[in-house]
Amino acid sequence: MRTVFVDVDTQFDFILPAGALYAPGAETILPRVAALNQFAAAEGIPLISTMDAQTEDDPEFREWHPHCVIGTISQSKPASTLLDKRVIVPSRRAKFDLQGAQQIILEKQNVDMFTNENLDAILHELSAERFVVYGLVTDVCVRCAATGLLQRGKRVELVEDAVRAIDEQAAGTFLESFQAMGGVLTTAAAVMAA
C-alpha cells in the first residue's frame, strides 16, 4: 500500500513557548517528528510538510493571533524536521516538479491544508492510499488534514505521541470522531517498526 507521511505545521510559532500560538508541550514531540521525517526519507516514503505562510495583514488574523508571517524566524521549521531534497509548493495555483523531492513543503494561508490550490494535484501524482499524520495542532490543523484525507477515502493513521493540542478537550472530541470515521491511532514506534 503506497504511503505518504504528513508533518503538519511543525513551525517555531507553534513549537516554542515564546511562539505566537504555542501548543503546550509541543517542543517534546520534535524528536519523534524528526525521526518520522528521517524514517520517511530512508524508506523512500514521500513527505508532505504543511507550513503556514501568512502575510503581515493576513485575513486569518481576524480569528487567530498573528503568526508564521512569511520570512520571519517564527514561520521557520526546525532544521531537524527538514530533509535535504525538498520542494516548496505555494498556496496559489502554480507549476511544481516533485521529481526527486523527499519533502514537499506545502504552504498554506488557512488552517486547512486543502485550501492550497495545488494539493489535489499533488495527491493525484503521489497516488497513495495510506497517510500517516502528525504535527501541530491536534484540535485545528491536524484535525483538518486528517479529516480531509478521510473524506477523500484515504486510510489515515494519526501518530498520537507526535501531536500536541492547544485545547485538550477539543482534541479529545476530534480523536473520538476521527476513530468513528475510520481513522486509526498509532505511535511513532509502531509506524517505524512496520
Full residue range of the structural domain in which residue 125 is found? 3-193
Number of domains, the chain: 1
Give the DSSP H or E segment for 159.
strand 155-164
Cα radius of gyration rounded to whole Å, the chain: 15
CATH number at residue 38: 3.40.50.850
* pLDDT score of 61: 67
What's the pTM value of the predicted model, to 2 decimals?
0.95
> Which region holds residue 183: left if phi is over 0, alpha if psi is between -120 and 50, else beta?
beta
| Under 8 Å between Cβ of 21 and 65 | yes
Measure the CA–CA gap between 111 and 106, rounded to whole angstroms: 12
Alpha helix locations (H) across 64-113? none
CA 71 to mean position of chain CA atoms: 19
* pLDDT score of 191: 98
Q: What is the pLDDT along the chain (194 residues), one digit of tens a residue?
A: 899 999 999 999 999 999 988 999 999 999 999 999 999 999 999 999 999 887 777 677 677 777 888 889 889 999 999 999 999 999 999 999 999 999 999 999 889 999 999 999 999 999 999 999 999 999 999 999 999 999 999 999 999 999 999 999 999 999 999 999 999 999 999 999 97
